[in-house]
Amino acid sequence: MTSENQSRHFQSDLPCVLVLKRPPSFVLFGDHFLESPKFQYLKAYESPLPLSQLLHTHARSVQAILSSGGAPVTAETICLLPRLGLVVTTSQGLDHIDLSECRRRGIAVAGAGTIFSSDCADSAVGLLIDVLRKISAANRYVKQGLWSSQVFYPLGYKLGGKRVGIVGLGSIGTEVAKRLDAFGCSISYHSRSKKPLEPYKFYPNVVELAANCDALIICCALTGETHHLISKEVLSALGKDGVIVNIARGPIIDEKELVRCLVKGEIRGAGLDVFEHEPDVPVELFALDNVVMTPHCAVHTMESFEELRKL
Amino acid sequence: MTSENQSRHFQSDLPCVLVLKRPPSFVLFGDHFLESPKFQYLKAYESPLPLSQLLHTHARSVQAILSSGGAPVTAETICLLPRLGLVVTTSQGLDHIDLSECRRRGIAVAGAGTIFSSDCADSAVGLLIDVLRKISAANRYVKQGLWSSQVFYPLGYKLGGKRVGIVGLGSIGTEVAKRLDAFGCSISYHSRSKKPLEPYKFYPNVVELAANCDALIICCALTGETHHLISKEVLSALGKDGVIVNIARGPIIDEKELVRCLVKGEIRGAGLDVFEHEPDVPVELFALDNVVMTPHCAVHTMESFEELRKL
């Protein structure tokens, strides 16, 4: 739809929802995925106009923003929209939204909530098993026809009995804990505050958590405080027998340090669904069998998108 | 050690343990792995003599056999050893041992028991998550540098809510059920008989189980009755949205049929640790992203071998 078409379209009385960037669900299922007779879309990514000019044109129509992880909702954008009352995001995280500006203006913010929590938790456990038991590497070994020519495939490590530390015991972290409990892992966690209802051991300090764990699973939100929370010091406390899994947000880990530790064998392995500069991935990790990487798809299943649509 | 050396060696009074084939634990950790001052080994794989001749020579010394999955303990071998009283295997399965001949002769048979059960169950769950969530395929996609060049990685499928059928609810099957329960799967099973203490739904017929499940996990022992138990009919009942995982023994599945179903898309995917003619793997599966294969290593972790040694 061209900008001219959109302008004509917006003469109707329906509330207008600004879409900054085509969200994954549109890419996968078409733009009709979240359509409704109750509102109309203003698709910024289809307009030839610069964003500020587009927003000026439609300043008084836009009442809501539909956002996804890839497109930040900045204070600047918010300022241009005096009637904005709601920001909805299709992502689990809210880190791309200027929450303090929303709070100041009294704009409601709605995320996908816990729809994605179980898929995220499944991914975290899948990545942990894959790294410890070397499933992806073994799959490659078999598919390259090496089994019949080589004596024995290198051993993996047992999951049962491992001390797993969960960083961020929110809806995802709790689901991860519940699953790993069934594998006989011993669970502890670090969070902003102790959760009195949870049976797991709480560490107020993430370095201390790492020092007492065989694996760390990063499940917290990305905020000013959690940026590079997993620092050189934390990785070094985790140590050379430790494994790290990140299904939260890339910048929570100091990626440069993580790459250095993996390349030098200072930690045992990593399962990574998220990276600091997506879709760019450190090329140093491409050749490492002890690193399993997925393209920020921990939340993406056929079924979760269907639930999102319903929401 | 040569045969001559061995003969000389056997003049001592220590009980003699016949080892037919170098077990994986010897390959990995050296022949001293299971050594003990209480017995001595007769290593058939190091002798230049044909097996029958070697056994004739030592017929009256051998009191026990240490066996592993790769070397069958046949009635013929047993007949040559009049003092044989014990067959110990380092494997979980006993299908390579002629159990009826042992029974007839009153020879005790000892397996690794449940040492490997939890590792096997972890592998089964890992393979299921990998197939559904496409972890190995995603890892390859990222490591080939395709993420930044392509729009979106194909979606996987949710594990939560899936109806999982366990074929063989023994020590491994029970561990698998416990784990998948925590993922929100709905568990049912097929076994020789109903287990009144288990809370899961029992199907006396495996075709019926398959027809009512989204995934089948093969956990039973290989016996005359379970050979090709997973037939064309079972696979067809499982259907095109169904996934199969085998961490038990290859010949339980009619592999030719399985390959045909996978190639034609008649089932959704497979996670296979075992094959009908190991180490030969059907080459038709090498190119399929929905098939994840590991080289019969579901039981193999550093920690499980250490437990085996202690046993």
Considering only residues A47 and B228, tell me which one the structure prediction assigns the higher pLDDT: B228
Tell me if B311 is assigned to some domain: no
- Does residue A104 carry a catalytic annotation? no
Q: Report the amino acid identity of residue B184.
A: G
Least reliable range by pLDDT among A108-112, A119-123, A230-234, B228-232: A108-112
**Do A13 and A137 fall into the same domain?**
no
Q: Is A297 helix (H, G, I), strand (E, B) or coil?
A: coil
C-alpha Rg value of chain A to the nearest Å: 22
Tell me if B304 is assigned to some domain: no
CA atoms within 13 A on the CB side of A242: 26
Per-residue confidence band for A306, with pLDDT thresholds at 50, 70 and 90: low
Least reliable range by pLDDT among A61-70, A119-128, B46-55: A61-70
Per-residue confidence band for A199, with pLDDT thresholds at 50, 70 and 90: very high
* Main-chain phi, psi angles of B209, to 5 degrees: -60, -50
pLDDT value of residue B149: 78
Q: What average pLDDT does chain A have? A: 87
A135 touches chain B (CB under 8 A): yes
> What tens digit of pLDDT does each residue of A227-249 get?
999 999 999 999 999 999 999 99
Tell me if A309 is assigned to some domain: no
Cα separation values, B292 from A34, A165, B50, B268, Å? 34, 28, 39, 12
**Do B142 and B286 fall into the same domain?**
yes
What's the rounded mean pLDDT across residues A131-155? 86
B300 touches chain A (CB under 8 A): yes
Query: Of the candidates B75, B96, B111, which is a domain's last residue?
Result: B111
| Residues of chain A contacting residue B304, judged by C-beta atoms under 8 Å apart | 158
- Does residue A163 carry a catalytic annotation? no
Angle at B246 between CA B243 and CA B249, to 5 degrees: 155
Q: What is the dihedral of CA A244, A246, A249, A250, to 10 degrees?
A: 50
Tell me if A306 is assigned to some domain: no
Bridge partners of B88, per DSSP, are B66, B110
Query: Of the candidates A62, A82, A111, which is a domain's last residue?
Result: A111
Rounded Cα distance between A107 and A169, Å, is: 27
**Do B274 and B139 fall into the same domain?**
yes
Q: Supply A119's token pair.
A: 């898929």
Rounded Cα distance between A12 and A21, Å, is: 23
**Do B159 and B90 fall into the same domain?**
no
A309 touches chain B (CB under 8 A): no
Domains in chain A, number: 2
Q: What count of CB pairs under 8 Å joins A to B?
A: 189
Whether B235 has a pLDDT exceeding 60, the answer reads: yes
A184 touches chain B (CB under 8 A): yes
Tell me if B310 is assigned to some domain: no
A268 touches chain B (CB under 8 A): no
Candidate list B249, B255, B268, B276, residue with the active-site label:
B249
Whether B28 has a pLDDT exceeding 80, the answer reads: no
Candidate list B58, B190, B268, B296, residue with the active-site label:
B296
**Do B25 and B174 fall into the same domain?**
no
Contact yes or no for B301 and A24 at CB 8 A = no
**Residues 6+ positions from A222 with CB-CB distance below 8 Å:** A93, A95, A248, A249, A251, A252
What's the rounded mean pLDDT across residues A287-311? 79
pLDDT value of residue B150: 66
Q: From start to end of chain B, where are the E strands?
A: 16-19, 40-43, 62-67, 86-89, 108-110, 163-167, 186-190, 201-202, 215-218, 243-246, 269-272, 291-293
Domain span at residue A68 reads: 3-111
Tell me if A53 is assigned to some domain: yes
Contact yes or no for A152 and B27 at CB 8 A = yes
Whether A26 has a pLDDT exceeding 50, the answer reads: yes
| Residues of chain A contacting residue B23, judged by C-beta atoms under 8 Å apart | none
Q: Which of B46, A151, B8 is CA-nearest to residue B18?
A: B46
Contact yes or no for B155 and A179 at CB 8 A = no
Q: What average pLDDT does chain B have? A: 87
Rounded Cα distance between B215 and B235, Å, is: 11
**Do A162 and A47 fall into the same domain?**
no
Whether A6 has a pLDDT exceeding 50, the answer reads: no
What's the rounded mean pLDDT across residues A179-189? 96
Per-residue confidence band for B3, with pLDDT thresholds at 50, 70 and 90: very low
What's the rounded mean pLDDT across residues B238-252? 97
Query: What number of other Cβ atoms are within 10 A of residue A148's Cβ?
Result: 12
What's the rounded mean pLDDT across residues B180-193? 96
Rounded Cα distance between B91 and A271, Å, is: 30
Cβ pair B216, B167 in contact under 8 A:
yes
* Main-chain phi, psi angles of A164, to 5 degrees: -105, 130
Q: What is the dihedral of CA A91, A96, A102, A103, to 10 degrees?
A: 90
| Residues of chain A contacting residue B278, judged by C-beta atoms under 8 Å apart | 147
Rounded Cα distance between A235 and A265, Å, is: 11
Contact yes or no for A126 and B133 at CB 8 A = yes
**Do A32 and A55 fall into the same domain?**
yes
Least reliable range by pLDDT among A153-157, B112-116, B128-132: B112-116
- Does residue A296 carry a catalytic annotation? yes
> What tens digit of pLDDT does each residue of B205-216 get?
999 999 999 999
Considering only residues A144 and A116, tell me which one the structure prediction assigns the higher pLDDT: A144
Bridge partners of B109, per DSSP, are B87
| Residues of chain A contacting residue B30, judged by C-beta atoms under 8 Å apart | none
**Do B166 and B264 fall into the same domain?**
yes
**Do A48 and A139 fall into the same domain?**
no
> What tens digit of pLDDT does each residue of B252-277 get?
999 999 999 999 999 999 999 999 99
**Do A135 and A219 fall into the same domain?**
yes
Q: Which of B133, B146, B148, B309 to mutate to test the interface with A (most CBs of A within 10 A)?
A: B133
Rounded Cα distance between B218 and B300, Å, is: 18
pLDDT value of residue A2: 43
Query: Of the candidates A68, A95, A111, which is a domain's last residue?
Result: A111
Contact yes or no for B295 and A160 at CB 8 A = no
What's the rounded mean pLDDT across residues B286-301? 88
Cβ pair B17, B64 in contact under 8 A:
yes
**Do B100 and B163 fall into the same domain?**
no
Distance from CA of A14 to the nearest CA of B (A): 32
Whether B4 has a pLDDT exceeding 50, the answer reads: no
> What tens digit of pLDDT does each residue of B136-185 get?
999 999 999 988 876 567 788 999 999 999 999 999 999 999 999 999 99
Q: Give the relative orientation of helices A135-143 and A117-133 as an angle to the nearest 10 degrees.
A: 60
**Do A230 and A269 fall into the same domain?**
yes
ipTM of predicted assembly, 2 dp: 0.76
| Residues of chain B contacting residue A246, judged by C-beta atoms under 8 Å apart | none
* Main-chain phi, psi angles of B286, to 5 degrees: -60, -35
Cβ pair A63, A85 in contact under 8 A:
yes
Whether A110 has a pLDDT exceeding 80, the answer reads: no
Per-residue confidence band for B310, with pLDDT thresholds at 50, 70 and 90: low
The residue in chain B having the minimum alpha-carbon distance to the alpha carbon of residue A271 is B139
Distance from CA of A250 to the nearest CA of B (A): 15
**Residues 6+ positions from B12 with CB-CB distance below 8 Å:** B40
In the β-sheet with B201-202, what is the strand arrangement from edge to edge? B201-202, B186-190, B163-167, B215-218, B243-246, B269-272, B291-293
Per-residue confidence band for B8, with pLDDT thresholds at 50, 70 and 90: very low
The residue in chain A having the minimum alpha-carbon distance to the alpha carbon of residue B119 is A158
Q: Is A186 helix (H, G, I), strand (E, B) or coil?
A: strand
Whether B5 has a pLDDT exceeding 80, the answer reads: no
Distance from CA of A285 to the nearest CA of B (A): 8
CATH of the domain at A70: 3.40.50.720
Tell me if A151 is assigned to some domain: yes
Tell me if B294 is assigned to some domain: yes
